């Protein structure tokens, strides 16, 4: 497989970075993960905007335009002969002296990784579990999608390797927060609920997209501070992230939920699929890389 590293497309086995990179030494870096459909990155402008906001927080001076990131994705996809894929776009602080630096970082380390992804199954259910490990607080006023990821790793270890289970973080105060690698939603009495950013969760790009889709189906939306009993009373529960999209919950503790046959999960998923079909069609019309794969 090829990766993109600081302006070059190279075989991944040949990639090297400096041990003095402050992304390695101090965790100073941010990343975005997103899917390509037919070679076209989904919600790219939103991902790039969040990346740039994180770079500003970390005093890393490099900024990106969606069109330049798209060009890297297209060329990397061509070299790897991939159309439907996972992309991780990673930007770390770059080289510095050993010790904490207050000056801006002038030369970032920029890496784009890619791996193949199959066309998604039509709504894959998971079991949800409440984690004993609490969600840590953000390093700054907002949570960055940063290299500081051990809270998530430790939570995944608590849940275990089963890919059909997702853990739910609570805050130190006991409020619902988010999944290990996802945002959390539930429906009760035709209203869509999700934890507020006040809890310190990541403002997921797919989270934002789902809130827009909810308006299209006429749902009321409430963001706030909620506890586990609020979630247990839900009519439907689901997670979201950029790679797995909408993940309905079939079970929480001893309670059963509709999962993939939930009315609002079906409605939101249908709108999501229509957006993706549009990505394929726009790719064809633009003459870019595209795939004939469709959802079943």
What tokens does 211 get?
Answer: 């809130």
33 in the same domain as 153: no
User: Do 242 and 117 form a contact (C-beta atoms < 8 A)?
Assistant: no
Establish if 292 belongs to a structural domain: no
* Strand ranges inside the chain, DSSP E: 2-5, 8-11, 29-37, 40-41, 85-92, 109-116, 126-130, 165-170, 176-179, 183-188, 191-195, 220-224, 236-241, 245-252, 255-256
What tokens does 166 get?
Answer: 């997702």
Establish if 288 belongs to a structural domain: no
Q: Which of 85, 116, 147 is the last residue of a domain?
A: 116
State the total domains in the chain.
2
141 in the same domain as 263: yes
272 in the same domain as 130: yes
Domain containing 105 — which CATH number?
Answer: 3.30.470.10
93 in the same domain as 149: no
State the pLDDT at residue 279: 84
272 in the same domain as 150: yes
Establish if 255 belongs to a structural domain: yes
Establish if 52 belongs to a structural domain: yes
227 in the same domain as 84: no
Phi-psi region of 253 (alpha: psi -120 to 50; beta: other; left: phi over 0): left
State the pLDDT at residue 288: 44
93 in the same domain as 142: no
Establish if 293 belongs to a structural domain: no
State the pLDDT at residue 278: 86
263 in the same domain as 130: yes
Establish if 290 belongs to a structural domain: no
State the pLDDT at residue 122: 83
The structure tokens 């991902």 sit at 47
83 in the same domain as 7: yes
Establish if 171 belongs to a structural domain: yes
135 in the same domain as 100: no
Nearest to 205, CA basis, from 66, 3, 109? 66
User: pLDDT by residue (tens digit) across 71-101?
Assistant: 999 999 999 999 999 999 999 999 999 999 9
271 in the same domain as 164: yes
Q: Which of 94, 116, 138 is the last residue of a domain?
A: 116
Half-sphere exposure for 55 (CA within 13 Å, toward CB)? 25
Domain containing 262 — which CATH number?
Answer: 3.20.10.10
Establish if 186 belongs to a structural domain: yes
98 in the same domain as 234: no
Q: Find residue 31's DSSP bridge partners.
A: 90
Q: Structural domain of residue 267, as residue ranges? A: 126-278
State the pLDDT at residue 280: 77
Low-confidence ranges of the chain (pLDDT < 50): 287-296
DSSP-based three-state secondary structure for 272? helix
Q: Which of 116, 142, 177 is the last residue of a domain?
A: 116
């Amino acid at each position: 497989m090829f990766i993109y590293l600081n302006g070059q497309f190279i075989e991944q086995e040949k990639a090297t970075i400096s041990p003095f990179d402050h992304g390695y030494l101090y965790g100073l870096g941010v990343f975005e993960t997103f899917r390509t459909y037919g070679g076209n990155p989904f919600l790219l402008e939103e991902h790039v905007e969040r990346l740039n906001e994180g770079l500003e927080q970390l005093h890393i001076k490099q900024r990106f335009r969606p069109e330049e990131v798209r060009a890297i994705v297209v060329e990397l996809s061509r070299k790897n002969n991939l159309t439907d894929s996972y992309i991780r776009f990673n930007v770390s602080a770059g080289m510095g002296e050993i010790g904490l630096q207050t000056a801006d970082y002038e030369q970032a380390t920029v890496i784009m990784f890619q791996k193949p992804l199959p066309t998604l199954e039509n709504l894959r259910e998971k079991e949800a579990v409440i984690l004993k490990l609490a969600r840590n607080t953000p390093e700054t006023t907002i949570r960055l999608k940063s290299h500081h990821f051990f809270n998530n790793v430790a939570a995944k270890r608590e849940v275990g390797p089963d890919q059909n289970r997702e853990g739910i973080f609570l805050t130190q105060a006991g409020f619902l927060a988010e999944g290990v690698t996802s945002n959390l939603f539930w429906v009760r009495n035709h209203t869509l609920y999700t934890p507020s950013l006040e809890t310190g969760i990541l403002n997921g790009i797919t989270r934002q997209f789902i809130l827009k889709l909810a308006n299209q189906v006429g749902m009321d939306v409430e963001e706030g501070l909620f506890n586990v009993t609020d979630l247990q009373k839900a009519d439907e529960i689901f997670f979201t992230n950029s790679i797995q999209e909408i993940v309905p919950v079939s079970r929480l503790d001893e309670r059963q939920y509709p999962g993939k046959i939930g009315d609002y999960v079906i409605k939101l998923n249908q709108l999501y699929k229509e957006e993706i079909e549009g990505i394929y069609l726009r790719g064809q019309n633009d003459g870019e890389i595209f795939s004939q794969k469709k959802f079943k």
